[in-house]
Amino acid sequence: APAAVLGLLPLGKTQSPESLLDIAARKVAEKWPFQRVEERFERIPEPVQRRIVYWSFPRSEREICMYSSFNTGAEDPAAG
């Protein structure tokens, strides 16, 4: 039975599978900083670079807030 009939998807909406490029880029971004990827490989096709960079950024508002308020522990010289 189609997923829409089972109530898994809204009527008229379909989901397409994630591309192999996106899956691979997401896995790379989860494991290594983009700078390390650039240093390790001589030539990375531009579409691959774009997808790795895309997946390198946090997805949820909570993660964005956490990373944007990241403190390195170094004191701010202007504050003293």
Confidence of residue 80 (pLDDT cuts 50, 70, 90): very low
Q: pLDDT tens-digit profile of 36-69?
A: 999 999 899 999 999 999 998 877 888 778 777 7
Over 60: is that where the pLDDT of 7 sits? no
Per-residue pLDDT, averaged over 21-45, amounts to 92
pLDDT mean across residues, the chain = 78
Please give the pLDDT value at position 74.
Answer: 57
Domain residue ranges of the chain, discontinuous segments joined by +: 20-69
User: b/e for 19-49, b at 16 or more Cβ within 10 A?
Assistant: eeeeeebbebbeeeeeeebeeeeeeeeeebe
Q: What is the pLDDT of residue 76?
A: 54
